[in-house]
Amino acid sequence: MAARHNILTKLGCALGTFVFGIAGLAASPASAAEVQLKAASFIPFKTAFGRPFQAFVDHINETGKGVVQVQLVGPEAIPGMEQPNALRSGLVDMIATPPSMYRNAVPEAHVQDLSNMTQAEQRASGGQAALNESLKKKLNAVSLTAYGNGVPFYIYLTEDKVDQIEDFEGLRIRSQPNYAPFLRALGASQTMVPIPETYTALERGVVDGIGYPGWGIEDLGWDKMLKVRIEPGFYSVVVNILMNDKKLEQLTPEQRKVIDDAVVWFEEYMVQYDKEATQKSLEAQKAAGIKAVDLGPEFEKLARKAMWEDVVKNSPKEAPALRPLFQK
């Protein structure tokens, strides 16, 4: 009997320890769990427009250890044009992308391309909050921040064959949606070429030039085949860092603070990055022998007029309401 009593006692103690352990696991606070986020970039990370998002994610991972961590993939894993839908469906939680990549869903987002305000000014004017309402409704997303503000777009040509606006008639230009209204106004022929295929298109003469920002043509090797940069620049670059709104709402206060603090850090970080990237790209273009051809203020005015008309046509209600919030 004594032996049987000892066995039962040991079983009781073991069971008690097991139950206590399970209860302890169940009682672990949810806020102590580390959330894993998936993020995608529309452009490779070793480019002028890829490095900022890499820095943003690296900062989250450094400051959010044990709280928030972000796994990052590039366009080789999810093509840039597919990333907005991946964000909407929750396949990824965060993306870095320009408005042109999601214009079919939120055409009014192009008011950012035409803005002359910094991110801080857009936030203070209520512009970012108003745009986020459209993003939530149409893309299940919110914009955490954006970068590239103030960096103009240009048209680059493989030959020095334009002295006036009329000379664009019939030229084949590598385009994307935000250039389309302007190129139509110029009478140029548009060719949609993915970024990875643009080098070959230039090399084989498939296009006479490209539309691209002031940063980064040297990162992609395009500077080797371009001879002219048409000035003045037009529009303003925007790369939104978007997050799935449902995922953002699910974050604990501690997790959300990591993201919010990263946004503050990032916008300060980009002040110096902007200066360095602009200087580097201009020096690289000069070294490659790319010369500037200035067509005067009418060139930029035509670009702005064409874009506004297109944005209002595609978003007749939201765009006019947003416009004053994105203009000084």
Instruction: Please report, in tens digits, the pLDDT of each residue of the chain (328 residues total).
Output: 444 444 334 434 443 333 333 333 333 333 458 999 999 999 999 999 999 999 999 999 999 999 999 999 999 999 999 999 999 999 999 999 999 999 999 999 999 999 999 999 999 999 999 999 999 999 999 999 999 988 999 999 999 999 999 999 999 999 988 899 999 999 999 998 888 899 999 999 999 999 999 999 999 899 999 999 999 999 999 999 999 999 999 999 999 999 999 999 999 999 999 999 999 999 999 999 999 999 999 999 999 999 999 999 999 999 999 999 999 9
Residue 191's DSSP bridge partners are 174
* Backbone φ, ψ for residue 310 (5° rounding): -70, -40
pLDDT at residue 195, rounded to an integer: 82
Strand positions, DSSP E, 133-273: 141-147, 153-157, 172-175, 189-192, 209-213, 228-234, 239-244
Give residues with Cβ within 8 angstroms of 50, minimum separation 6: 41, 43, 44, 74, 96
pLDDT at residue 27, rounded to an integer: 36
Residue 207's DSSP bridge partners are none
Give residues with Cβ within 8 angstroms of 95, minimum separation 6: 39, 40, 41, 42, 83, 84, 86, 87, 241, 242
Amino acid making up residue 120: A
Q: Answer for the pair 134, 109: CB distance below 8 angstroms, yes or no.
A: yes
d(CA 62, CA 68): 9
Residue 173's DSSP bridge partners are 190, 209
Helix axis angle, 253-287 relative to 51-63, nearest 10°?
150
Q: Answer for the pair 237, 151: CB distance below 8 angstroms, yes or no.
A: yes
For the entire predicted model, the pTM comes to 0.86
Q: Answer for the pair 180, 310: CB distance below 8 angstroms, yes or no.
A: yes
Strand positions, DSSP E, 166-264: 172-175, 189-192, 209-213, 228-234, 239-244
Nearest to 39 by CA among 82, 76, 74: 74
Query: What is the torsion angle, in degrees rounded to the nearest 10, for the CA atoms of residue 11, residue 16, residue 21 and residue 22?
Result: 100
Amino acid making up residue 289: G
pLDDT at residue 11, rounded to an integer: 38
172 C-beta neighbours (distance < 10 Å), count: 15
